[in-house]
Structure 1
């Protein structure tokens, strides 16, 4: 009697389907939980715009700011010491106008703070209609 049986050796088989399923689940999990942040570079070249000119601007006060920080209201050079004093000058120039349009012509090299000072003075004077003048780009 031969108690030993010959066992057939079966070739081992590697099943990749469960492995692929697990890898896809991990990939989906990583894609869903990853936060993507975009690093933006600031390349600013202001001011310029391409818009149609308004036919008429009634009750407008033109304020210009030079690159050196000098201010002019309706083509008259004025001194800016505090926003409160400049607000009083704006009220004087506006006269009896209730809410005049204030056009800010700031040089491209003017500091941001000088424009913010103008906006603060207009707020203190009670004027809410502010706009910025730009130049059109040459094509």
Structure 2
């Protein structure tokens, strides 16, 4: 009586090709459904205005002032809130280009002093094309 057939038993294996396909589809789905809106990083309430701002041809330098009076330049926070630190950060980001347009995105609840400090620092550096971002006024 012979109990073994002389063949080695089949080893179970995991098919990695289909697993890689499923993971790749999940990654593609997550990338497509994710929003890449840089404005979603900070929760700002912009002041309203009747006239929308014209579109600039050159990418403007964006200076964000949040509700607590903190400054952000190109998604980086300026750690100190004094004029000298702000001027240094603006000069580092803008370089020598003083004709570049600047958009100040100030929260409607931001302290007025924070906005005045930002405009003062930009003026001392020689920027002349300064705009304040607003939201369109709600229609009744």
Q: Report the TM-score range of the alignment, normalised by the length of the smaller protein.
A: 0.5 to 0.7
- Partners of 2:94 and 2:104 in 1: CA distance: 15
Corresponding residue number in structure 1 for 2:22:
none
1:68-118 per-position Cα deviation (integer Å, ceiling 9, x unaligned): 111101222222342122112111111242322111111111111000110
Q: TM-score, normalised by structure 2?
A: 0.59
Q: Report if aligned partners of 2:52, 2:136 keep a CA contact under 8 Å in 1.
A: no
Q: Structure 1: 5+ residue runs without aligned partners? A: 1-45
Displacement after TM superposition at 1:54 (Å)? 2.6
Corresponding residue number in structure 1 for 2:75:
75
Within-5 A mapping of 1:15-26: none
Q: TM-score, normalised by structure 1?
A: 0.60
Displacement after TM superposition at 1:138 (Å)? 2.1
- Partners of 1:93 and 1:48 in 2: CA distance: 28
User: Which has the higher Rg, Structure 1 or Structure 2?
Assistant: 1
Corresponding residue number in structure 2 for 1:91:
91
1:9-55 per-position Cα deviation (integer Å, ceiling 9, x unaligned): xxxxxxxxxxxxxxxxxxxxxxxxxxxxxxxxxxxxx8211224533
Corresponding residue number in structure 2 for 1:130:
130
Q: How many residues align?
A: 94
Corresponding residue number in structure 1 for 2:112:
112
Displacement after TM superposition at 1:61 (Å)? 0.7
Corresponding residue number in structure 2 for 1:121:
121
Q: Structure 2: 5+ residue runs without aligned partners? A: 1-45
